[in-house]
Amino acid sequence: MPVARPEPQEPRVIAHLDLDCFYVQVEQRRNPALRGQPTAVVQYNDWKGGGLIAVSYEARKFGVKRSMRGDEAKHVCPGINLVQVPVSRDKADLNVYRSAGSEVVAILSTKGKCERASIDEVYLDLTDAAKEMLSESPPESSEFIFEEATKSNILDLTSDASDREENVKAWLCRADADYQDKLLACGAIIVAQLRVKVLEETQFTCSAGIAHNKMLAKLVSGMHKPAQQTVVPSSSVQDFLASLPVKKMKQLGGKLGSSLQDDLGVETVGDLLGFTEEKLQEYYGVNTGTWLWKTARGISGEEVEDRLLPKSHGCGKTFPGPKALKTNTAVKSWLDKLCEELSERIQSDLNCNKRVAQTLTLHARASKENECNSVKKFPSKSCPLRYGTGKIQEDAMKLFESGLHDFWGYRNTGWSITSLSVTASKIFDIPSGTNSILRYIKGPSSGASSTIVDPSSTPDLTPFVGNVTQTDIAHVHEEQCQPSSSIKEDCDNSSLAKQCGATEEKGVSKKLSKAQESGSILKFLSQSQSAFHEKRNFDGLICSNQGHESSSGASEAGQHGKTNINTAGDHSAGNTWMLNVEDIDPDVVGELPLEIQREIQGWIRPSKHASTKKRGSTISSYFSPSRR
C-alpha cells in the first residue's frame, strides 16, 4: 500500500526520462538500415513468430502492438522488420540493452541526483542545477534559448497554435512567473540539453516529464512521445489530475484503484477531492488515506534516490501453451539455466560494484490440470542467497519444491508451470577500499569456493515466505525481460568499450553536430534520417560507459544508508563509511569465514567486545577507506 512521505519545504525540479521504443533503438543502432523503418524486437520463439516486446513508432502507425505475435504483426504491417532478441542459454540475453541503458544513465547522472528506475528509465533531481541556472543565466535575461527547449509541451499552453514555439519561449522566459515555475523553466532547458546530449553520444532519443515531484514527472513523461518533453507548471496540476483516470496511476492500477472505483465511485484522481482526509483514512487506513488525499492535490514527497545501479537482478522465462513444464526434471533444467545467469550477474555486480545480494526469490506461475483457463497463484518463496552457481541452483530448486507443495500438495503430476523466475535482491554496498570480502564471496570458477564456510544447511524458507510482492514480477513475461536492469557485466573491458565508442561515433559525428548547432532533436531526426542508412557494420559492437558505472557504484557505498554504522568510530564526513546494517541478512553472513562472521555479528548485535578489537586486524579496517 502506498505511503505518503513528508514533502520538502523547498520547491524541487524533478525529471523522469524514458527512452523511446528502447530495444528497437538499440537494434537500429546496431543495424542503421532499420532506422525510420517499421521494426519490432521479438522474443526468440517458434510459436506464431514469437512475441513482440518493442515496437518502433513507424510500426505503431500500422497498428502493431507489443501484445502481438510476430505473425500477427506481419499481417497488419507486411513490411515490418522483425529483429530477434539475442539468445543465450536458450533464453533472451538482455545484456546489450542493459549496457545501452547504462550509457544513457552515465550521461544523465552528470546533472543531478540520478535514480535508475528501470532498464530505460531514470529520475533526476535537477533542483540544484536549475537554481544555479536561475541565478547565473536566467532564461528571462538570455538572448538565446536552447532550441529543443522551445519545443517543450507545457501543460498550460495549447499545443496546436502555429506560434507555439514562440509561446513556449515566452513561457520559459516569463519575468512575472513565480519562483517555482522559474525553476521549472530552467529544468526544462536542462532536460532539453541532456536529451540532445544523449542523442549525440548514444544515438538514442528519449522523452521526458519535468515537474515539481516524481509522481507528476512520471505521469507526463510518456504524454508526448517520441523524442519530446512535457512540463507541468504548478498552475496546471489540478486540471491535469481532474481528468486523469485513477487506473493510470501506477499505485492505483490494481486492487486499490478498483476499490476506489467500485466502493467510492471515484473514476479520476480529481474525484478524490470530494473526500476528506479522515474519510479516506477510514476506508484505507491512515497511511494510504493520507497518500490518496495528497495525491489528489498533486503532492508527493518521494525523493529521487541516489542510485545508478539496479535494486535487484532477475532472470526468468515463460513457457506458454504447449511449452508449459510438467515435471520436476524439466523445471530443474530451466532453473539451473536461470540460476547460472543470475549467479554470473550477481558475481559481476560484486566484482565491479562491490555489491552483495542477500535474498534469493523464486516466482512461478502455474496452472492445475483440468483448470486450464485459471492461472492459480503459485506462492513466491525466498531464502538467504548463497554465492556460487551450484548453491543458487540447489536453493532455487528447494524454493520451487516448497512453493509447489503449498500450491499442489505432495502429488507429483497434474500441474504445469508457465513461468519461472529467480531474483537476487536486498543488495548492499561493500564500502569502497574493501578487498577482503571479495576473496570470500566468489563463485566456483574463482577457485575460492573452498574458503566459503559451508553452512551445510538447507535454506530456512519459513521466515521469508510470501514476503515478495506481486509487483516484483510485473515484467516477467516470455523469455523474461525484467527491466530491473543491471550494469554491463564485463566491467574489466571499459577501455575496450571506450575504444568501441570512439570508432562507432566517428561515422555519425558530422550529422550529430547539426543537432548540437540547432539544439533540436526533431530537426536532427528529420534532416539526418538518411545518414543512418549509410552502410556501417555496427554488429557486435557494444559500446558502454562501464568504467563510469563501476567506479560510481563503488563510490556510492554508504551514501544512502538508513541506519548507519561507523565501525571505525569516526563520524567525520568523507572519511567514514556507512552500511545499512539493518538490511544485512544474518544468514548471508554465515557464508563468510568465522572471524569475519563474528565481527559482522558484532555490528548487527553489538557485543561488549566489538569495540575493543585492534584496528587493522579486523574486517572494519578493510572496510574503512583510509585503512587507518
- Near ligand DCP by CB under 6 A: residue from 40, 64, 481, 589: 481
Rounded to 5 degrees, φ, ψ at 606 are -50, 130
Is residue 585 close enough to count as binding Ca ion by CB under 5 A?
no
97 is written with which cell numbers? Answer: 540493452
119 binds, among Ca ion, ligand DCP, none (CB under 5 to 8 A by kind): ligand DCP
**Which listed residue (58, 115, 121, 147) is catalytic?**
121
- Near ligand DCP by CB under 6 A: residue from 23, 284, 524, 603: 23
Is residue 121 close enough to count as binding Ca ion by CB under 5 A?
yes
DSSP labels for 244-298? -BGGGSGGGSSHHHHHHHHHH---BGGGGGGS-HHHHHHHH-HHHHHHHHHHHTT
Residue 210 near residue 233, CB atoms below 8 Å: no
Q: Which residues fall within 8 angstroms of residue 193, CB to CB, at 6 or more apart?
A: 146, 148, 149, 519
Residue 502 neighbours by CB distance under 10 Å = 10
Is residue 119 close enough to count as binding ligand DCP by CB under 6 A?
yes
Nearer to ligand DCP, 122 or 579 (CB): 122
The CA distance from 22 to 380, in Å, is 30
The 15-34 contact track toward Ca ion, x by CB under 5 A, reads ---xx--x------------
Residue nearest ligand DCP (C-beta atom): 481
The CA distance from 613 to 359, in Å, is 30
The CA distance from 154 to 172, in Å, is 10
The CA distance from 346 to 337, in Å, is 15
Shortest reach from residue 357's CB to Ca ion, in Å: 23
Is residue 332 close enough to count as binding ligand DCP by CB under 6 A?
no
Shortest reach from residue 16's CB to ligand DCP, in Å: 11
554 is written with which cell numbers? Answer: 563503488
- Taking the alpha carbons at both ends of the chain, their separation in whole angstroms is 45
Structure letter (DSSP) for residue 580: B
Choices 196-204, 296-304, 377-385, 475-483; region in contact with ligand DCP by CB under 6 A: 475-483
Shortest reach from residue 84's CB to ligand DCP, in Å: 13
Is residue 477 close enough to count as binding ligand DCP by CB under 6 A?
yes
The 242-281 contact track toward ligand DCP, x by CB under 6 A, reads ----------------------------------------
Is residue 120 close enough to count as binding Ca ion by CB under 5 A?
yes
Is residue 54 close enough to count as binding ligand DCP by CB under 6 A?
yes
Q: For helices 277-284 and 286-296, give the axis angle rounded to 10 degrees.
A: 140
Is residue 479 close enough to count as binding ligand DCP by CB under 6 A?
no
133 is written with which cell numbers? Answer: 541556472
Nearer to ligand DCP, 257 or 483 (CB): 483
Element at 154 (helix H, strand E): strand 153-154
Is residue 112 close enough to count as binding ligand DCP by CB under 6 A?
no
Q: How far is CA 64 from each of CA 223, 271, 335, rounded to the nearest angstrom? A: 19, 34, 33
- The count of residues interacting with Ca ion (CB under 5 A) is 5
Shortest reach from residue 54's CB to Ca ion, in Å: 8
Residue 612 neighbours by CB distance under 10 Å = 7
Is residue 442 close enough to count as binding ligand DCP by CB under 6 A?
no
Element at 332 (helix H, strand E): helix 328-353
377 is written with which cell numbers? Answer: 497463484
The CA distance from 326 to 153, in Å, is 52
Shortest reach from residue 97's CB to ligand DCP, in Å: 7
556 in catalytic set: no
Is residue 511 close enough to count as binding ligand DCP by CB under 6 A?
no
Shortest reach from residue 304's CB to Ca ion, in Å: 16
Choices 121-129, 357-365, 382-390, 441-449; region in contact with Ca ion by CB under 5 A: 121-129
Site residues (CB under 5 A) for Ca ion? 18-19, 22, 120-121
Site residues (CB under 6 A) for ligand DCP? 18-23, 53-54, 119-120, 225-226, 475, 477, 481, 483
Active site residue ranges: 121
